[in-house]
Amino acid sequence: MNKKEIAEIRSQLGKTQKQMSQLLGTSLKSVQSFEQGWRNVPVHIERQALFLLAMKRCRGKKKPLDCWTIRKCPPELRDRCPAWEFQGGCHCWLINGTICGGEVQKTWQKKMALCRKCEVFRGMFATD
């Protein structure tokens, strides 16, 4: 996640930098540093920010289709996938170890590179 993305999420949440730091459990100086590009956004901060945005976007809407339905996952992959196991199909991007593209992605960065191209992730964060 880059400085523009973290600032955009904060803006979409309607939060000040101070409020965002409280939500993320970090310091105001950290949020300022992320948005200025002085510090990289750590994985745990990226996940929390995306989760908060997803929760806000889902409020009052019907539940989106699950990833295994959208991507037409075959049973042999679906049954091994933690998104299926924990019934987190619309939040599959948040769960490590998902079997997208036929294999588990080894790192959060590789997973998110794949997720950002996926219709499930893009659908969750598409503007209305």
Tell me: do 46 and 15 sit in the same domain: yes
The pLDDT of residue 24: 96
Listed in order, strand segments (DSSP E) in 1-128 are 99-100, 103-104
State what percent of residues in the chain have pLDDT above 70: 97
Tell me: do 11 and 41 sit in the same domain: yes
The pLDDT of residue 60: 67
100, β-bridge pairs: 103
25: Cα separation from own chain's centroid: 17
The pLDDT of residue 127: 58
- Indicate the DSSP class of residue 80: T
- Predicted TM-score (pTM) above 0.75: yes
The domain in which residue 15 lies consists of: 3-58
- We report the CATH number of the domain holding residue 54 as 1.10.260.40
Question: Would you say 67 and 73 are in contact if contact means Cβ atoms under 8 Å apart?
Answer: yes
List the chain residues with pLDDT less than 70.
60, 126-128
Cβ neighbours of residue 79 closer than 8 Å, sequence gap 6 or more: none
